[in-house]
Amino acid sequence: SSIHTVDEAKKRGVELKYINTKDIENPEEYLISITSGERYNDVFVFAPVKEVVEQGDRILAKDGCLNFFAGPTDPKFSAMLNFYHVHYASTHIVGTSGGNTQDMIESLQMMEKNLINPAAMITHIGGLNSVVNTTLNLPKISGSKKLIYTNIEMELTAISDFKKKGKTDPLFTQLAKIVEKNNGLWSTEAEKHLLKNAKSI
């Protein structure tokens, strides 16, 4: 919610809501009420949990798509789906992002128009010396995309740790200030500062 803010979405004509259903007595009913009973055209499931998959299926609108974007480790993982709705309401399910070449072209065009910001996916920055360790331990490293600069020496560092590392390293002190004014995101300004001041290889 700090990266994709409600205010930023509003500027783009989108009503964005962040909802933690932990303390909601009937999450399914509440989520449907937000749509005035219309339900959802697209539901993304990011965890291989039977109950979550089934709940996602139940809040689909007519012709709604359930995107199961969560690779299960259990080869027997299963969940109940409403096939009445599959037949009569044309609900359907996919197991990937569903992106094709045209989608990639559209994404690039949206980036050019500043409609989406790919920097939101970047959580770690590192130099060439950090590649081997990062690759071998990738499943154990939290976060999203790791951006590696092949012409500098720098251990893989989470952007959220810049401020802490800045207490002993002036490079990170300035990087922390730059990303802080950019809503915590990596930026062209941060990149230029890094390449100018980091140890070259």
pLDDT at 64: 97
Q: Assess if residue 107 is contained within a domain.
A: no
DSSP calls for the chain = --SS-HHHHHHTT-------GGG-S-HHHHHHHHTTT--EEEEEE-S--HHHHHHHHHTEEEEEEEEE----S-TT------HHHHHHS--EEESS----HHHHHHHHHHHHTTSS-GGGGEEEEEEGGGHHHHHHTGGGS-SSEEEEETTEE---EEGGGHHHHTTT-HHHHHHHHHHHTTTT---HHHHHHHHHHSEE-
Give residue 55's domain range: 6-94
pLDDT mean by block of 10 residues, the chain; 201 residues: 80 91 94 97 94 97 94 92 98 82 91 89 96 94 94 97 96 97 94 97 92
The per-residue pLDDT for 90 is 98
Q: Provide the pLDDT for residue 97.
A: 63
Residues 131 and 180 in one domain: yes
Whether residue 100 is contained in a domain is answered as no
pTM of the model: 0.67
Residues 186 and 123 in one domain: yes
State the pLDDT at residue 104.
Answer: 87
Q: What are phi and psi of 47, to 5 degrees?
A: -140, 135
Q: Quick count: other Cβ atoms within 10 Å of Cβ 44?
A: 13
Position 86 in a domain: yes
Domain contains 56: yes
Domain tally, the chain: 2
Residue 9's φ and ψ, nearest 5 degrees, are -65, -40
Query: Residue 59: which of 27, 88, 11 has the closest Cα?
Result: 27
pLDDT at 91: 98
Rounded to whole angstroms, the Cα distance separating 135 from 161 reads 20
Q: Is residue 87, in this structure, part of any structural domain at all? A: yes
Q: Are 193 and 128 in the same domain?
A: yes
- Position 111 in a domain: no
